[in-house]
Chains A and B, each alone.
Chain A
């Protein structure tokens, strides 16, 4: 077909929304992102300060004579908040041992958070890190304390056990979503509860019972199955960095990551382009579970935590907030994991030194994520400027 009559180039009449090039936009969008995140953290700390104030008896008492002598209220409030938050800082980064504690707490958060991040990128919301960790713990613990094996091999086997069992448990939710469309939010939450009964079942067995203990508690793993330690810090934490790099490579540089991101962003188009959406759901959840297994192995094989039904603690749930705060990117997850590791380590000191309940850390985390997810709110409060983009995690509706 010959070009019709004129040489004028056809002009697209539709609105060309301004498309910034990525080189420019990466800088431009990072700055407000960091600014928003910092503002969100500050705002959460402010709300936390109010909670601290009103949980301090002296402050409450000073309220009863507020109008006659308001100064007491402000003084006592200031002291309570300062005591609380300075304990938080001391307990997280104030000394070598608190730094070790922060890193030891951050590492499992990062690993499990990476699992949530990965599932997120595949368009799934993995709330099952807790259950996956519990199953991983059963494997790592059993191999760790039941067998006597040569030093390196024992650790490797226990680690592999945790990763495999965690992966299987994660894979169940992926399989159910792929095959029946059961929403992963519900199945992973239910699998968390089921996981708790699984470990209770094993803890009831004699093999898992710590001698001379009346509690449902296992012995710690043998020394041959532990991570080597330097300055009191077990080297398992390095695996968190390795995992972060690995997940970054998988997501950004591999064909499999290309599929994950495509399925997560537009499953119909991915399917039309020949990708197997089911396989992506299943494999992504398996790898997410493996990361949870890796996370718990740092507790069982690193800190030598004994198995209990509370082995996963709040890490499984905190992993979600870590991934959200990290905007479902590996680097962000590492940074958010370090922050929450510090909050968690400092929370202990806060309780010991200032009498602030450790649950405050959980409230702070939830608030931080809420505020990060609603930049408009934070900007409004702090009069910050920025474009109104929301968090880049796409998962709307029930997904079918």
Chain B
């Protein structure tokens, strides 16, 4: 017998990668065609449904001395939107739709144009005597997005370290409550605190409460290895029950002492605040909003450029590998969870000292869960999560603004941010890859 015998040896195979189009790619094309087809069709409907193409708009959020309504003829906007959407549709149908950055930019453009086309339809032909004007969406978006971003940062920190944090909502509630209490007490009882620091003192209360809930998360998740999804939900119930309970404990005549916080002042940054459209929304804000901006940069830098961040990510991805090079896995996780509590607590404080003042039951209205969705949609990256949070803030604000227009039922508008979350999590993101060890307690074997 020969040293070997080859039964079959395929002829020099030529790579056939180009000829085979995989299913995912086809599915992507189908998805794009359907999306842009729908958007084009809806835009055409909007354009045709407009009877009187006259609307007014203002550059500010509401009509003031500074911002007076201006007239706008919607026709050209509508058709420009249709044209944009149509271009994307044709590109997708011919399988010429750009990939990566360019594709994303085009999708964004179509999104913005769809928004404008929709606005034209929504604000024309208003029935009532009062004609609402199209207003600047940015200030409202910022207001709603601020706590979302802070909550999402908390989520990123925890989950990058491998601890699932569903309790952001609980951290919000606790943060909101104690921020209110701290600020109120500082005003009535702690005379040594200067007036200008009374509201910021509330932030301290929020941070402490956020860290407190985080400590419970850490204790049960890391020390006692309780299932983290279960734990998060229970912690939300706990924080919600506890804050409601404590709120009920404040007798009516003591409300002023315990739940009447001072609200943070807006600080105007000269020059920058004068930028049209954006300036006021971004640069005439409370210290909390500036803190939010700084936090995004800080967390991003921390996670990706520092020794601590490298270790956090390593314990979230492969805790055993981290352990084998001498990193104390649970200690790093504790640090990340507690630091996350700081941001979530700040986010919670927004709902009292950062905006409306007194604490009320369920004041955060489920936004903690939306912050969590932003974490996932942002692929566990602080910048991505920030964009996702801003998107949710935008949707929410749109719903607020449209409630002045009688064209859409209020209930549909009310449900819109939640529906948008479902669509975002299910449709656009699909199966994203979380940190590999997310939610797994680390036990030395």
A→B interface (CB under 8 Å)? 51, 55, 57, 125, 127, 176, 179-183, 185-187, 189-191, 193-194, 197-198, 200-201, 204, 317, 320-321, 324, 357, 359-363, 365-367, 369-370, 373-374, 376-377, 390-391, 393-398, 400
Contacts and interface: CB of A to CB of B under 8 A. Distances in A.
B438 A397 contact: yes
Contacts of A357: 244-245, 248-249
A393 B230 CA distance: 9
Given A397-B434, A398-B434, A193 B366 contact: yes
A390 B166 contact: no
Contact of B422 (A55, A181, A187): A187
B367 to A, nearest CB: 11
Contacts of B233: 125, 127, 185, 320
Which applies to chain B's interface (DSSP): helix, strand, loop or mixed?
Answer: helix
Contacts of B166: 185
B439 interface: yes
Nearest to B249: A55
Contact of B241 (A176, A190, A362, A398): A362
B13 to A, nearest CB: 30
Contacts of A374: 220, 224, 226
Contact of B237 (A187, A362, A373, A396): A362
A237 B164 CA distance: 37
B411 A363 contact: no
Contacts of A366: 234-235, 237-238, 241
A370 B245 contact: no
B258 to A, nearest CB: 13
6 contacts: A55-B249, A185-B166, A190-B369, A357-B244, A373-B231, A398-B164
Interface of B: 164, 166, 216, 220, 223-231, 233-235, 237-238, 240-242, 244-245, 248-249, 251, 366, 369, 372-373, 376, 409, 411-412, 414-415, 418-419, 421-422, 425-427, 429-431, 434, 438-440
B439 A398 contact: yes
A125 B229 CA distance: 8
A181 B238 CA distance: 29
Contact of B440 (A182, A183, A377, A397): A397
Interface centre among B369, B409, B440 (most CB of A within 10 A): B369
Contacts of B434: 397-398
Contacts of A321: 234, 237
Contacts of B224: 373-374, 376-377, 390
A363 B422 contact: no
Nearest to A393: B227
A324 to B, nearest CB: 6
A177 to B, nearest CB: 9
Contacts of B412: 197, 201
A190 B421 contact: yes
Contacts of A190: 369, 373, 418-419, 421-422
A396 B230 contact: no
Interface centre among B233, B240, B427, B431 (most CB of A within 10 A): B233
A179 B251 CA distance: 51
